[in-house]
């Protein structure tokens, strides 16, 4: 696997797309346009950096946040939540990683659409295969690795009182009124 892209360059690309977060189709188009201008090696490096952030956000605290926000969260839903978190830009990602309970303050008040963005994770592979005629399965195998083992941190309990105490801001905002 190639080296991943430097953090500043990766986040500059993501942040250019994050300004269209209220229109996911437009956000995908923006990412496609940016990546289409890069050579295949840089697209591979972007994918590596993206997957490093997926791995870094594989924590029990963020899973609990997704669970509270959506009223539940499967393995796949948690992966798509982390993709959304990355697509939201560096500021949101780093703030949520540092203190997941602060997502209650970072999510727009009028948010109705689930905070999952599976498609964002596929753009680099799609662009790469279009430019190289390479095999998408090989690209995925070379650049994507499912996290092994349990998430980092302390597991959470699927108990209302426990979640309200551990994540008071998220619980106040979403506990009785989840998105989706």
Assign residue 133 a region: left if phi > 0, alpha if psi is -120 to 50, beta otherwise? left
How many Cα atoms occupy the beta-carbon half-sphere of 180 within 13 Å?
14
- The pLDDT tens digits of the residues spanning 23-38 come to 999 999 999 999 999 9
Domain boundaries, the chain: 7-146+157-175
- The pLDDT tens digits of the residues spanning 74-122 come to 999 999 999 999 999 999 999 999 999 999 999 998 898 999 999 999 9
pLDDT bucket at 1, cuts 50 / 70 / 90: very low
Alpha-carbon distance 13 to 28, whole Å? 12
DSSP category for residue 172 = I
Alpha-carbon distance 173 to 121, whole Å? 28
Mean pLDDT across the chain:
92
**pLDDT above 70 as % of the chain:** 93
């Amino acid at each position: 696997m190639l080296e991943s892209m430097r953090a500043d360059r990766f986040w500059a690309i993501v942040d250019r797309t994050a300004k269209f977060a209220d229109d996911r189709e437009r956000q995908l188009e923006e990412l496609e346009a940016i990546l289409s201008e890069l050579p295949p090696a840089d697209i591979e490096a972007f994918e590596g950096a993206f997957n490093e952030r997926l791995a870094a956000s594989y924590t029990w605290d963020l899973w609990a946040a997704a669970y509270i926000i959506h009223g539940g969260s499967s393995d796949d839903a948690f992966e798509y939540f982390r993709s959304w978190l990355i697509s939201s830009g560096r500021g949101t990602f780093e703030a949520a990683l540092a203190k997941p309970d602060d997502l209650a303050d970072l999510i727009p008040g009028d948010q109705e659409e689930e905070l999952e963005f599976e498609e964002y994770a596929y753009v680099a592979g799609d662009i790469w295969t279009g430019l190289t005629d390479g095999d998408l399965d090989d690209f995925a195998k070379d650049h994507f690795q499912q996290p092994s083992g349990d998430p980092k941190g302390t597991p959470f309990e699927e108990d209302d009182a426990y979640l309200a105490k551990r994540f008071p801001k998220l619980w106040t905002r979403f506990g009785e009124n989840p998105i989706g």
